[in-house]
Amino acid sequence: MTTPKGYMGKIMMVDLTTGAIETEKISPKVYQSFLSGMGLAAHILYHRIPAGADPLGQENILGFVSGLLTGTGSLFTGRWMVTGLSPLTGGWGEANCGGSFSPAIKRCGVDGIFFKGISEKPVYLCVDDQGARLETAEAVWGKDAVEAETALIEKHPNARVACIGQAGEKRSLISGVSTDKGRLAARSGLGAVMGSKNLKALVLAGKKRIRVHNREEMKRLSKICNKWVQFQPPFVPGWLTAPVGALMRILPFVATQDGLLYKIMLRKWGTVSMNQISVEMGDSPIKNWMGSSADWGFFKSFSSQPDRFTRQETEKFHCYSCPLGCGGICKTKGRFPETHKPEYETVLSFGGFIMNKDVDLIFYLNELLNRAGMDTISAGHAVAFAMECYEKGIITTGHTGGRALEWGDPDDIKFLVEAMVARDGIGDLLADGVKRAAESIGPEAEAIALHCAGQEPAMHDSRNDPGFALHYSVDPAPGRHTNGAGLYYEMYQLWKKVKGVPKMGPAYMKSSKYKKDIHHARVGKANSVYLNVMNGAGACLFGGFIGATRIRIFDWLNGATGWQFTPEDYMEIGANIQVLKQAFNIKQGLDPKTCRVPDRLLGRPVQTRGANKGRTVDVETMMKDYWELFGWDRETGRPTEETVNRIASIA
């Protein structure tokens, strides 16, 4: 057999019940059909998690995978992913994270590390020169993610660590996995799966080389990409971003977005650059999706203007192989000396979404939740849910231990989040997300619990970009904003590289975004498929936004592996991965129709003011069109048996 290039050709399977650790060879055919990363994980989990498995039980398999392009000299390809049966949705679970952990997986000689069974006592996996072994985690169990990582690195110098905090240990269904002291693979509740397995951490100190077919070609392509990243003309000061958003709201047409603009903002500020633009243009939901840009205008959102964050930034944070560096380390006031720069999602879900203007509080909550390993998107929704329930009299001071909850009150917010981390009182209820909380409160609360099959959607308004409504609803891991959107498609500029995908001109009328036509479904399919390729490659979404001719994922994949696939071949691979993930959900009994976004997010009832005034999204038709384009049943979203069998039989 020829030596694998780009990928490592093996996975590690750890049985936590018996303590057995095995390395398995994976056939090159599997990589050629599903790539590595999320595609490889979909292949492994589809076959090995039995139907009806308990997400927090013995049968669930938790996988940590690296991307095919990680460590090959390509750029923006340092993402690692955690996958499993999600306890939050009962279907396909995935979360994606940057930092320095992705190459660490491959340096252990494998593309993925999978865990089955449940350990009797808390353990962590250590892989180094001496091989792979499980060690007792008694000393770090109970510690937060930053403390645990620090302690483990002290014991294993130069290792890379992924671990859970208290939230995962306490099986909060909105918990994730942390790495690099507070960067979180947050979604799908996979921290709870790790907690349920009594697995505290992965400590990886392998040093294997990652082989590449044509390193010079990889470098050539990387230099092209880097040239665009380093292009950094001056941009407006932070306080002027809001007027830019307002202008985008007012104009009746939209210039097809070139991701270079976003790149410039990311380089300057990071994702917080979008804080005020999003509010103004109607992309950011306000007050649990009830409010609008009219309720959270320039002055109210001003405390979150992007310069406010860079002022506290002491250094930029680059993930592995990232030339851009959108992350940062910020000093903070109060209990924690520093924190990763809060991301857009965190700032908005603890900002306008709960009517909070106190940015120091956001810094505090960011670090608190990073350390606990809890998803800030879902946590923000839980707080908003509690506040709306209280306002409507659905919960009372009886539930809150005597506290009156008020929108935007910093003390109330702090109280709720701290209670969630501690799983104390009402926090215990909210720590499993809004769906579980509403189920135990009662039917009135269920109308306020906004989720897609259990997962809270993110801070991007589906009434502004119907693409979000579609992807929140149709993705096998629903409710996630990284799956796709109309805007993403514009920035990918896929039509410049791939034949047969919808082309876009330099500008279009805004009203066309809300028209019922097949275009949206075609864009949606291309989005999903390309994202699967990126997730197989371990590529960063923000890198993808720079545009397919500037970030040459397809060419890098060929350069790393020696394959000679066309972009269309890779898109076919992406489509196959989507089938496998959808089939995973069907196998686990998650009905695709039930993943639809709740009515409030679709403009039902319609908003009477603000950026999204008068807009409704017919997501049902969009979903059907999308399923049909994949060749699935238009009414049920089920892939045909032949399709599933054809793809599942690849081994």
Partner 1 sequence: MAYTISNECIGCMACAKICPTNAVTGEKKQIHAIDPAACIECGACGRVCPSRAVLDHFGLAFERIPKKEWDCPQFDLKTCMSCTICLDTCPVSAISQALLLKGNPHLFPVLADEALCIGCGFCAGDCPADAVTMVPRNRESRTEETEKA
Applying CB under 8 A, the residues found at the interface with partner 1 are 71, 73-75, 100, 103-104, 107, 129-130, 157-158, 207-209, 215, 218-219, 222-223, 226, 229-230, 313-316, 318-323, 325, 328
Of 122 and 342, nearer to partner 1 (C-beta) is 342
Structure tokens at 566: 């066309």
Neighbours of 506 (CB within 10 A): 7
Of 154 and 642, nearer to partner 1 (C-beta) is 154
Residue 523 contacts residue 63 (beta carbons within 8 Å): no
Look up tokens 């992965």; give the residue: 202
Of 267 and 581, nearer to partner 1 (C-beta) is 267
- Which residues have CB under 8 Å from 288's CB, separation 6+? 353, 354, 381, 384, 385, 387, 388, 448, 450
Of 307 and 313, nearer to partner 1 (C-beta) is 313
Nearest distance, CB of residue 488 and partner 1, angstroms:
24
Q: What are phi and psi of 218, to 5 degrees?
A: -60, -45
Of 69 and 167, nearer to partner 1 (C-beta) is 69
Of 215 and 333, nearer to partner 1 (C-beta) is 215
Sign of CA dihedral 145, 150, 155, 159: positive
Q: Name the residue among 350, 323, 209 with its Cα closest to residue 266.
A: 323
> Which stretches of 86-231 are assigned E, i.e. beta strand?
92-97, 112-116, 123-128, 131-136, 160-163, 177-179, 183-185, 199-204
- Which residues have CB under 8 Å from 427's CB, separation 6+? 416, 417, 418, 419, 420, 421
Nearest distance, CB of residue 71 and partner 1, angstroms:
7
Of 8 and 377, nearer to partner 1 (C-beta) is 8
- Which residues have CB under 8 Å from 43's CB, separation 6+? 30, 33, 34, 580, 650
SS (H, E, C) 201-262: EEEECCCCCCCCCCHHHHHHHHHHHHHHHHCCCCCCCHHHHHHHHHHHHHCCEEECCCHHHH
Nearest distance, CB of residue 174 and partner 1, angstroms:
30
- Which residues have CB under 8 Å from 169's CB, separation 6+? 141, 142, 195, 200
Nearest distance, CB of residue 219 and partner 1, angstroms:
5
- Beta strand 62-66 with 21-25 is unpaired
Q: Which helix (H) or strand (E) holds 316?
A: strand 313-317
Separation CA 491–CA 487 (nearest Å) = 7
Nearest distance, CB of residue 233 and partner 1, angstroms:
17
Of 73 and 306, nearer to partner 1 (C-beta) is 73
Separation CA 274–CA 30 (nearest Å) = 39
Of 226 and 256, nearer to partner 1 (C-beta) is 226
Of 133 and 316, nearer to partner 1 (C-beta) is 316
Nearest distance, CB of residue 321 and partner 1, angstroms:
5
Of 319 and 369, nearer to partner 1 (C-beta) is 319
Of 97 and 611, nearer to partner 1 (C-beta) is 97
Q: Name the residue among 449, 455, 484 with its Cα closest to residue 468.
A: 484
Secondary structure of residue 60 in the 3-state scheme: coil
Of 216 and 411, nearer to partner 1 (C-beta) is 216
Nearest distance, CB of residue 541 and partner 1, angstroms:
17
CA dihedral 36, 209, 215, 32 (to 10 degrees): -20
Of 69 and 430, nearer to partner 1 (C-beta) is 69
- Beta strand 112-116 with 123-128 is unpaired
Please give the distance of CA 513 from its chain centroid, rounded to a whole number.
Answer: 24
Peptide bond into 55 cis (omega under 30): no
Q: Which helix (H) or strand (E) holds 14?
A: strand 10-15
Look up tokens 């994976």; give the residue: 26
Of 156 and 170, nearer to partner 1 (C-beta) is 156
Q: Name the residue among 566, 560, 564 with its Cα closest to residue 219.
A: 560
CA angle 242, 246, 252 (to 5 degrees): 155
Nearest distance, CB of residue 160 and partner 1, angstroms:
9
Q: Which helix (H) or strand (E) holds 65?
A: strand 62-66
Nearest distance, CB of residue 215 and partner 1, angstroms:
7
Nearest distance, CB of residue 109 and partner 1, angstroms:
8
Nearest distance, CB of residue 307 and partner 1, angstroms:
13
Nearest distance, CB of residue 104 and partner 1, angstroms:
8
Structure tokens at 275: 């804080």
Nearest distance, CB of residue 159 and partner 1, angstroms:
10
Nearest distance, CB of residue 319 and partner 1, angstroms:
8
Nearest distance, CB of residue 30 and partner 1, angstroms:
22
